[in-house]
Amino acid sequence: MPPINLAIVGVGKIARDQHLPSIKGNPDFKLIAAASRNGTVDGIANFTTMKSMFEAMPEIDAVSLCMPPQFRYEAAYEAISAGKHVFLEKPPGATLSEVASLEQLAIENSVSLFASWHSRYAAAVEAAKSFLASATLQNAHIVWKEDVRHWHPNQDWIWQAGGLGVFDPGINALSILTHIMPTPVFIKSATLEFPENRQAPIAADLKMTSASGIPVHAEFDWRQTGKQTWDITVATTDGQMVLVDGGSKLTIDGKSVEVPEQSEYAALYHRFANLINERRSDVDIAPLRHVADAFMLGEHIFVEAFND
Ligand code: NAP
């Protein structure tokens, strides 16, 4: 099968750090163009708008949309309407409704839409899911604490409405949780801490439960300096399971479980190629739904101003 002609849109941090190397290592794709207002990619055709790119290069089959979520819907709408397969960076949109609209549009245009959740492809996530599938769960605890100044310096969009604030990394934890839990969970109460000069939270505390009453507590905080923590602990009658470092390592009762080496973005592109070849979409909004629920149900409190 000839490679899928791919274009990347929104050449910024994640495009450079992950998309470009992963595409290079995947023979199913040939990166032939980029569209970005300021960024460019060496060795391929570069455009400042998607419209000019599609006009000049009708052979483009698929696009990866790597701009911030508040600007992704218009780009996705334009690409799907032009008959291109679409890879959406996480979160798939700024609202649930726009993602539903894109899902329908993809059906009407017979293209594949992939709402990617990179953390679900972390090396130890499948092993955690299999362990929990046959265990009796007692409770779960997510601790996702990192230093925003280190990971998101001067990213204004992330602090604006729709940028999600601490849920930008927190949604990665929720994407793992919704994948590994054998039963659905939902939020019962939440506290969101907003810096008084920002529109998005710097910390969030979520109390969730499953239908069968298993409590799940999630703590997200962007004010963490020193050791960074991205861990999910689940107590079960078969022992304590800990997913460490964003899902890359797993221990059960303190013993490490061997997992295959896997790059999250290499696995995402492998999945995208399969979806295109099978003419299917994958649009799971469960992680984004929890974030929306937290904003709807959560108590909003204002804390000290945050400046980069
Ligand atoms: P970024 O570097 O701040 O932005 C990516 C690019 O989007 C920018 O370079 C810019 O390119 C374009 N862009 C910015 N504002 C725009 C606007 N108003 N309209 C259209 N394009 C705009 O962000 P990022 O860190 O790569 O994150 C992008 C997405 O990837 C987010 O949804 C994020 O959650 C996700 N993600 C990020 C990471 C990470 O480590 N950073 C990890 C996983 C997923 P031009 O100015 O050239 O148009």
Question: How far is the centre of ligand 1, averaged over its atoms, from the C-alpha of 160 (Å)?
Answer: 13
DSSP SS3 for 241 = strand
Which segments in the chain show pLDDT lower than 50?
none
Q: Which of 14, 89, 264 to mutate to test the pocket of ligand 1 (most atoms within 8 A of CB)?
A: 14
For residue 298, give the CATH number of its domain. Answer: 3.30.360.10
How many other C-beta atoms are found inside a 10 Å radius of the C-beta of residue 265? 20
* 94 and 67 share one domain: yes
At residue 206, the pLDDT reads 98
Question: Hey, which residues are catalytic here?
Answer: 90
* 124 and 101 share one domain: no
As for ligand 1, residues whose beta carbon falls within 6 Å of it are 10-14, 36-39, 66-69, 71, 89-90, 118, 155, 157, 168
Question: How far is the centre of ligand 1, averaged over its atoms, from the C-alpha of 165 (Å)?
Answer: 14
At residue 1, the pLDDT reads 83
Nearest CA to ligand 1 atom 21: 67
* 203 and 79 share one domain: no
The whole domain housing 175 covers 119-262+292-303
Question: How far is the centre of ligand 1, averaged over its atoms, from the C-alpha of 68 (Å)?
Answer: 4
* 139 and 105 share one domain: no
* 80 and 144 share one domain: no
* Residue found under tokens 């934890």: 173
At residue 133, the pLDDT reads 97
Nearest CA to 14 out of 95, 119, 97 is that of 119
* 253 and 299 share one domain: yes
* 159 and 225 share one domain: yes
Question: How far is the centre of ligand 1, averaged over its atoms, from the C-alpha of 175 (Å)?
Answer: 19
In a domain? residue 270: no
9 - beta bridge partners?
A: 35, 65
End-of-domain residue from the set 115, 143, 158: 115
Could you give the CA distance from residue 217 to residue 191 in angstroms, rounded to a whole number? 12
* 220 and 78 share one domain: no
